[in-house]
Structure 1
Amino acid sequence: MIGFNSARRARAAVSAGARDLEVPQVKEENICLPLSVNAVCRYWGVEIPMDEARKIATRYAGARGSILIEGICLAEAHGLSCSIHHSSMAALRRSIEAGAPPIVILPGLRDTVQHASVISGYDDTEGTILHYIPEPGGGGEFQLGAIPQSQFAEMWGEDGMLLISIAPPEIAASLDLGDAGRARSNRLCFEAERLSLQSRGEEAVEMLREAIGMDASNSTAHSLLGGMLNSAGSAECTEHYGRALEINPRCYLAHRGLGNHLLKAKDYAGAERSYTAAIGINAARFGPIHKNRGIARLELGDREGARADLEEYLRQVPSAPDRRDIRKAISEI
């Protein structure tokens, strides 16, 4: 029987209106064992050999970013239970109070679309959510990042408040995080992304349709399906982007994806509206969106707006491979 370090539940720093779980400092990561998953596994006393992750990573030559589902599968192979939920601030707090640090999906910055972050606690006195930062501070002490709770809720909401729970089975069973059927629908979304990375696009699309069949209100499934259909050149993508936005009006990726589809279709006014909606939600999440809106605005005759967008693109993506061409375009506007 695997011996999990459940005693960590009792070693959280507790005070009135505050919790702070002792997530260990971890530096090792791999595209198939993201740091967030590795840190939570270590929290429970489970050390996953990095060689296992490296072996799996050979299947994804050239892949960018982390493949979260592979890390989840590794955690499960080592005896932990994992579930994925469209969650809430109340459920997040319940998980922390139960001594189980959740992983959440938060927006990325500039050219990174999103990232997974471990939430280690909260402080109601300061009005903050505490998230895990793996690097020590200047004096070698462990550091925590603090995000105002209202700001955190807005950021987390951009991807439908996705929460990944990784815990020993007996603890996982005690957590009240959401409906099991909906959790399965969310799991299929992550598995479909893996299929897409394996160039199994048709299977990925069918899996996302299955996820929607399980939970028609799954904004993540609709947004992902919209993205895959968009890549395949299918106008059906607009139906799923639209459904994602009905469910979650702050779904940044659906606004951006719809804008990309409309730009390709030369519906420049529609593309500009979609990009503007996405930028209004989070102007710093993905730098290239400013270039795309600049192109749409230029086609609409908005030269000042186009120039401002192209300049913002270069500011947010200073190493852009098309920097010289964009500079030339700006000078000619």
Structure 2
Amino acid sequence: MSNGAWMMAVVVALVALGAWWVWRNRSLPLSSAALDLLWQSPQAQGTAERASLMNEGIPPVIWTYWHSPGLPLVVQRCVDNWRRHNPGYAIHVLHQGNLHEYLDDIPQRLAAVGIPKQTDWIRLALLHRHGGFWLDASTILTQSLDWAVQRQAASRAQLLGFYLEGFTTQPAYPVVESWFLAAPAGSAFVADWLALFREQAIDGETQDYLQGLRQRGVFQAYTQRIGDPAYHTIHVTAQHLMQSHPLHDYRLELLRAEDGPYLYHQQSGWKRRSLYWRLLWNGQRDDCPPLIKLRGGERRKLEPYLRHGWYRQGSLVGRQLRP
């Protein structure tokens, strides 16, 4: 075979390999098996006062928290992304220095429990008092949050959020995620969730709370497949309310996270390299999820890609996290 023929064969092979990688890492459409739930307490017989809360809408305000005023590049790009998609929304990035401007009655022990639990209390307290949206700082939006406002207005739910099927072993009690929460101010479920979380994880000791659940024989039921319940106590306390207060008129609209914010994670087998291919190099599809959640390690490892511009301009990152 001549040198020219060899060269042509190599080019054809490389093109074929590239096409295979694009196909293998393509962005698939949303699953037809998507399962969205309007969850209500079993045997609920709510009072008129609690039921009236469901008539309130979600105000156009977005809350997030970072432990210091200076934001990492990925977080700053995410916040800029929220502003582009939601020009009519108030967006508040809280930190220790301005927290008191939005919340009072801050627990004395809050500073002693560590940043994750501080942030968990803050998100519930903000939604209880002010309403709106809580977004973890590593959330990428691909459209306005108006879709969530409209869904809650139709369902009159006390909370709109996501559940993770991978954590759920009891379909009657889906495990509520905490990184995206939307609620009217004064939501009955959020009020009770805040009170229980503060009692057990802020004012009390988390390990004592979890040991008490074990002694009562409900630990497995409440934790389901939640990893590290001592860290994810906010998830456990949500289950505590949902499973132990059947007569409270709780009404939650829960969307399956694997069909939206974690769709690309699921398609990638929860592996970072394949996920990054979808985010950095695949073109953004018109039917992509309305939001994408970056987990801690994914956010940190994405930093140099943004800093050096290592992404395709038409990719999801190129379109949504551009300077």
Q: TM-score, normalised by structure 1?
A: 0.28
Structure with greater helix share of residues? 1
By relative contact order (CA 8 Å, sep 6+), the higher-ranking structure is: 2
Larger radius of gyration: 2
